[in-house]
Amino acid sequence: MNQYEELCVDMGQRAKEASYELAQIDQDSLDRALLAIADSLEAHIDEVMAANARDLDQAVHYDVPQTMMDRLTLTPERIAQMALGIRQVAELKSPVGTLLETITRPNGLRIEKRAVPFGVIGIIFEARPNVTVDAGVLCLKTSNATILRGGKEAFNTNQVIVNLMRNTLETQGITPDAVQLVEVLDRDMVGTLLEQRQYIDVIIPRGGVGLIRRVVNESKIPVIETGSGICHTFVDEYADLDMAVQIAVNAKVQRPSVCNAMETLLVHKAVADEFLPRLQDALESYKVRIHGDQDVAKYMNNTIPLEDISFSTEYNDLDLNVRIVDSLAEAIDHINQYTTHHSEAIITDEPMRATVFMNLVDCSTVYHNASTRFTDGFEFGFGAEIGISTQKLHARGPMGLQALTSYKYFVFGEGQVRS
């Protein structure tokens, strides 16, 4: 066993023991611990900011794209929002122990299906220190221990935040091993972590397509796949064009670096000559770079020619693919060819066309007359989220507390035996 294996096994064993302890702690005690973590985070803003400043200084050496710097950067206001998010989670009802179903058999057996914690959740993510807080807090709320492996770009920030969480848990009489941070940044460490099926019950990757693909391909532990976001909006021939402009602008520019931002806009040919010039005017002040073919270039200035990879690219930037389509069916076909199964939208005043679109596009979240930017745990009323699942098993879409539970059957008898 090499040093990486020894470290992962040690962390896994301690996390497993912590999960057994968490399963015996009442919810009020866990909520008090969460509130104490929020207080500690606010009390140590200067320390967190100093660590974040070190990460930002080093980011240039890691070639962090400028658009991703926004995700890496913390401010006092953002830290205060993180603390507020923790308090909101503390106020939510935990799904753990919820009675999901009751069955009484003819022989008198009473079967109860109850929500239970996974046990130990591993989370691998990139340059987003807010994920450190969200993941740790949501796992604690649902009585799960967690092992966090963040990107090197946010290492100093993550280290300070996790230490604050661990110290606070200890003062609350809860094992600090409920939250652990992998402090080895070597990429080989990720591969070793993904082999710890004996100790880790589920792995959740959060990041770009490369990270997610690696975790899905290499993990020996069950994975909840959170996806990159190549999100589409289709402006139908029956769309309210004022609404369509407003939604398209919001979906692209409100925060272009996030996974629920629009990357491709499809426009029905019947409204292209009116809609596209209006969209160009609306996007001009934001300096959005339009990628399109010659048909699009007739309506939008300085159009960048499409490349083979354009429709498969998650820009996370002020770039937008635009394509004119002949029909609703062509729009659906395009989306299902290029979707990452995240979020898709149709703008139309025809309910039946919306119904067809919403039933046939293959994604976790589909919208009628609204921006894809709402695919978010907070916006859905879940509080903080652990990620947005783009797969079809167990959880799909924004994952809040319920997604961090499994279930167990509790069977009560009075001496029944099977004949």
pLDDT confidence of residue 210: 84
115 and 261: one domain?
A: no
**Which pLDDT band holds residue 298 (cuts at 50, 70, 90)?**
very high
**Which pLDDT band holds residue 206 (cuts at 50, 70, 90)?**
confident
Long-range contacts of 163-168 (CB under 8 A, 24+ apart): 164/37, 164/40, 164/41, 164/44, 164/47, 164/48, 165/37, 165/40, 165/133, 165/136, 167/40, 168/33, 168/36, 168/37, 168/40
Give the pairing type, strands 405-412 and 110-117: antiparallel
Strand partners, 267: 235, 324
Question: Which residue from 220, 299, 317 is spatially nearest to 262, judged by alpha carbons?
Answer: 317
Strand partners, 266: 234, 323
Q: What is the mean pLDDT of residues 130-138?
A: 92
Q: What is the mean pLDDT of residues 281-290?
A: 94
Asked if residue 334 is part of any domain, the answer here is yes
Higher pLDDT, 400 or 139: 139
Q: How many domains does the chain have?
A: 2
Among 8-17, 69-78, 91-100, 362-371, where is mean pLDDT lowest? 69-78
Side chain identity at residue 101, one-letter code: E
282 and 180: one domain?
A: no
Q: How far is CA 47 from the centre of its chain?
A: 27
Q: At residue 29, what are phi and psi to the nearest 5 degrees?
A: -65, -40
Round to whole Å and give the CA distance between 179 and 37. 12
218 and 266: one domain?
A: no
Round to whole Å and give the CA distance between 172 and 185. 30
Q: At residue 374, what are phi and psi to the nearest 5 degrees?
A: -85, -5
Round to whole Å and give the CA distance between 225 and 349. 34
E strand or H helix at 245? helix 241-253
The answer to whether 161 touches 133, Cβ cutoff 8 Å, is yes
241 and 92: one domain?
A: no
102 and 235: one domain?
A: no
Q: What is the CATH number of the domain that holds 374?
A: 3.40.309.10
Round to whole Å and give the CA distance between 154 and 187. 15
pLDDT confidence of residue 158: 97
Query: Mean pLDDT for the chain?
Result: 93
Asked if residue 418 is part of any domain, the answer here is no
**Which pLDDT band holds residue 397 (cuts at 50, 70, 90)?**
confident
pLDDT confidence of residue 393: 79
pLDDT confidence of residue 347: 98
Strand order in the sheet with 99-104: 99-104, 110-117, 405-412
Asked if residue 258 is part of any domain, the answer here is yes
Long-range contacts of 245-248 (CB under 8 A, 24+ apart): 245/275, 245/278, 245/279, 245/282, 247/345, 247/347, 247/369, 247/370, 247/371, 248/279, 248/282, 248/347
Asked if residue 389 is part of any domain, the answer here is no
- Six-digit token string for 73: 């950067």
Q: What is the CATH number of the domain that holds 196?
A: 3.40.605.10
Asked if residue 386 is part of any domain, the answer here is no
33 and 93: one domain?
A: yes
The answer to whether 280 touches 320, Cβ cutoff 8 Å, is no
- Domain hosting residue 72, numbered range: 3-225+394-412
Round to whole Å and give the CA distance between 213 and 219. 10
360 and 398: one domain?
A: no
65 and 164: one domain?
A: yes
Asked if residue 384 is part of any domain, the answer here is no
**Which pLDDT band holds residue 75 (cuts at 50, 70, 90)?**
very high
Round to whole Å and give the CA distance between 89 and 295. 49
Q: Is 177 exposed, middle or buried (0-12, 13-18, 19+ CB in 10 A)?
A: buried
pTM: 0.85
314 and 400: one domain?
A: no
Asked if residue 27 is part of any domain, the answer here is yes
- Residue 296 pLDDT > 80: yes
**Which pLDDT band holds residue 396 (cuts at 50, 70, 90)?**
confident
Q: Is the dihedral of CA 40, 45, 50, 51 positive or negative?
A: positive
154 and 262: one domain?
A: no
338 and 295: one domain?
A: yes
Asked if residue 419 is part of any domain, the answer here is no
- Residue 390 pLDDT > 90: no
202 and 235: one domain?
A: no
